[in-house]
Amino acid sequence: MENFTYHNPTRIHFGRGQIARIAGEFPQGARVLLIAGGGSIKQNGVYAQVCEALRACTVVEFFGVEANPDYDTLMKAVALARAERVEWILAVGGGSVLDGAKFVAAAVPFKGEPWDILSKGARIESALPLGTVLTLPATGSESNGAAVISRRALKEKLAFLSGHIFPRFSVLDPETTFSLSPRQVANGVGDAFCHVIEQYLTYPVHAEVQDRFAEALLKILVEIGPKTLARPNDYDLRANLVWTATWALNTAIGQGVPQDWTSHAVGHELTALYGIDHARTLAIVLPSLMHVQRAQKREKLLQYAERVWGLREGEPEARIDAAIERTRAFYESIGIKTRLSDYPEVTPGTAAAVAARLRARGASGMGERGDITPEVVEKILTLAA
């Protein structure tokens, strides 16, 4: 196992009615900027509960953060936060709203050009304190220090990481997710699955806790993903989906182990180019990546085949093939297509175009060993055609 220093500062309020806990999180009279998306929270009763909990605060609202939150939209929220001298941010929504709020929290006190935070990895010295009410289980943003921001005007989608943007607290009430469409539920399952895989499917370092936790999370997603879609009003299924998605990317299973975030890096390019839902881009990349990197990931692929899919019989290569096929079939079973050709918005030449974008960014060596070059990415996307 590799060395690590682990600290997750997010306090979680989990379960029915827990939005009321927000009242105890803010000092009396705090100036809070409430950041939200396109309005789903007004239809499902979440907004009313949040307003009730914020009665002792001075609240400024910013609605309109879109899926794949846009830099230009968020800069309007930054201007509002500065003008209103807000002291806290409360994000209410899915991963996009949470990520957008994290960017606003970092950009408000930032002295230079905020785009540099994303484009140049400019160091953040501080951020406004942030709380969240999560309404879509998927990204883990409610309990990590990551945010992914799009800038449509430049066709870019870039991530940044900072210890300063971990939420101070997050409310996870599974009932807030009952209003999700089947498409968004499936996206959440598929995204969380890939998060676990990217911290697990590399090479073994004898990290038994991280491996067994990761395998448990994968097995839970395989079991409850389809059930949640079939029984959309089942509280226990939702509660387990919400908690699994949090664990998939609250950084616990990634401590002390090699990681490979290539599926996300390539997926973000596909979203930037074509606007495909985040989780769907991962489903396109992941099975092909497993194929192309099968030699490098051989030991872990065999472990994954056995422990997650129960594949113990036959030649090793056949077991690996079967595990990759199970992975693809799992995504397809929850209604997520896994081939580029399944997405009519994708234009010819995509494999080369994505490779060129990565080359231009200097992403020369991704993967757990730094051996996934833009040429390898081109191969992966060609196989995903």
Report the interface residues with ligand NZQ, using CB under 6 A. Answer: 37-40, 44, 67-68, 93-97, 99, 135-136, 138-141, 144, 146-148, 176-177, 179-180, 184, 187, 191, 249, 264, 278
Q: Say if CB 28 and CB 282 are below 8 A apart.
A: no
CA 172 to CA 186: how far, in whole Å?
18
Residue closer to ligand NZQ, measured from CB, 80 or 352: 80
Residue closer to ligand NZQ, measured from CB, 128 or 305: 128
Taking the complex as a whole, how short is the minimal distance between the CB of residue 147 and Zn ion, in angstroms?
12
Residue closer to ligand NZQ, measured from CB, 200 or 309: 200
Note whether 191 binds Zn ion by CB under 5 A: yes
Taking the complex as a whole, how short is the minimal distance between the CB of residue 188 and Zn ion, in angstroms?
10
Taking the complex as a whole, how short is the minimal distance between the CB of residue 355 and ligand NZQ, in angstroms?
20
CA 330 to CA 310: how far, in whole Å?
14
Q: Say if CB 90 and CB 129 are below 8 A apart.
A: no
Tokens at 291, concatenated: 């194929």
Residue closer to ligand NZQ, measured from CB, 93 or 374: 93
Residue 9: CB atoms within 10 A of its CB come to 11
Taking the complex as a whole, how short is the minimal distance between the CB of residue 283 and ligand NZQ, in angstroms?
13
Q: What are the respective helix, strand and coil percentages of the chain, to the nearest 5? A: 50, 10, 35
10 binds, among ligand NZQ, Zn ion, none (CB under 5 to 8 A by kind): none
Taking the complex as a whole, how short is the minimal distance between the CB of residue 320 and ligand NZQ, in angstroms?
25
Taking the complex as a whole, how short is the minimal distance between the CB of residue 119 and ligand NZQ, in angstroms?
16
CA 258 to CA 155: how far, in whole Å?
30
Taking the complex as a whole, how short is the minimal distance between the CB of residue 180 and ligand NZQ, in angstroms?
5
Residue 154: CB atoms within 10 A of its CB come to 13
Residue closer to Zn ion, measured from CB, 18 or 281: 281
136 binds, among Zn ion, ligand NZQ, none (CB under 5 to 8 A by kind): ligand NZQ
Residue closer to ligand NZQ, measured from CB, 177 or 338: 177
Note whether 99 binds Zn ion by CB under 5 A: no
CA 56 to CA 50: how far, in whole Å?
12
Burial of 294 (0-12, 13-18, 19+ CB in 10 A): middle
CA 275 to CA 144: how far, in whole Å?
24
Q: Which span (25-33, 126-134, 185-193, 302-310) binds Zn ion, by CB under 5 A?
A: 185-193
CA 355 to CA 240: how far, in whole Å?
37
Q: Which span (51-59, 100-108, 191-199, 350-358) binds Zn ion, by CB under 5 A?
A: 191-199
- What amino acid is encoded at 25 in this protein? E
Residue closer to ligand NZQ, measured from CB, 107 or 320: 107
Q: Say if CB 96 and CB 68 are below 8 A apart.
A: yes
CA 264 to CA 180: how far, in whole Å?
23
Note the residues at the interface with Zn ion (CB under 5 A). Answer: 191
